[in-house]
């Protein structure tokens, strides 16, 4: 009794002389190979050329600053809770007097780390952040042989003043 209708009857008749010498099969294979030689190649010579990315591409994480250059992150921990890979760890601290120019709110992230070896680039941290402090840029993850290289600290993630000015001028971000 057949469970599916996908069963195929196999022809078990003896091979003909042409099938025994394999010449038609070899000619058919050569025809396919010659057809592929003259087609456009799908590969890209990477350092010289870059392929266009999808508009929804998610790359490296960036911690945003506001217009005055203060950190937007308030260490609420929603990004760490939303992360399915548990790649984000943070510690909150209170802002002291005289640090108003550094931090936007009274609470800030004293320690903010992302383990990029665990990150699955899902974008949940970006969606969960109520202050738009975290976003995934269009930068490709660089490669390295050291595991310590892939633990990004707050200093690695914060956007610099020059990058802020460049983004404001181009309107991207």
Residue 83 among known ligand-binding residues: yes
Give the distance, in angstroms, between the CA of residue 34 and the centroid of all CA atoms in the same chain.
37
Task: Work out the number of other CB atoms within 10 angstroms of the CB of residue 129.
Answer: 20
Q: Is 143 annotated as a binding residue?
A: no
13 is annotated as contributing to ligand binding? no
Dihedrals φ, ψ of 79, to 5°?
-65, -40
**122 is annotated as contributing to ligand binding:** yes
Are 96 and 103 a contacting pair, CB within 8 Å?
Answer: no
Let me know: does 136 contact 152? Beta carbons within 8 Å.
Answer: no
Q: Is 119 assigned a ligand-binding role in the annotation?
A: yes
Select from 92, 109, 100, 95 the least CA-distant residue to 68: 100
Q: How many CB atoms lie within 10 A of CB 87?
A: 22
Residue 84 neighbours by CB under 8 Å, 6+ apart:
120, 122, 124
Residue 44 marked as a ligand binder: no
Instruction: Check if the beta carbon of residue 156 is closer than 8 Å to that of residue 142.
Output: no
User: Is 139 assigned a ligand-binding role in the annotation?
Assistant: no
97 is in an annotated binding site: no
- Residue ranges of the annotated binding site for [4Fe-4S] cluster are 73, 76, 79, 83, 119, 122, 125, 129
- Residue ranges of the annotated binding site are 73, 76, 79, 83, 119, 122, 125, 129
């Amino acid at each position: 009794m057949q469970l599916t209708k996908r069963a195929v009857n196999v022809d078990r008749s003896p091979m003909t002389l042409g099938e025994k010498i394999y010449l038609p099969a070899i000619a058919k294979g050569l025809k396919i190979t010659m057809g592929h030689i003259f087609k456009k190649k799908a590969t890209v010579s990477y350092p010289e050329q870059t392929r266009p990315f999808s508009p929804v591409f998610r790359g490296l994480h960036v911690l945003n600053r506001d217009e005055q250059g203060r950190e937007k992150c308030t260490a609420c921990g929603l990004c760490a809770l939303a992360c399915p890979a548990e790649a984000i760890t943070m510690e909150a601290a209170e802002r002291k007097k005289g640090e108003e120019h550094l931090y936007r709110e009274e609470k800030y992230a004293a320690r903010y780390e992302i383990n990029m070896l665990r990150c699955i680039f899902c974008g949940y941290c970006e969606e969960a952040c109520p202050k738009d402090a975290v976003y995934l840029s269009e930068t490709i993850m660089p490669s390295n042989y050291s595991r310590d290289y892939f633990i990004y600290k707050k200093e690695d993630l914060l956007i610099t003043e020059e990058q802020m000015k460049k983004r404001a001028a181009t309107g991207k971000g």
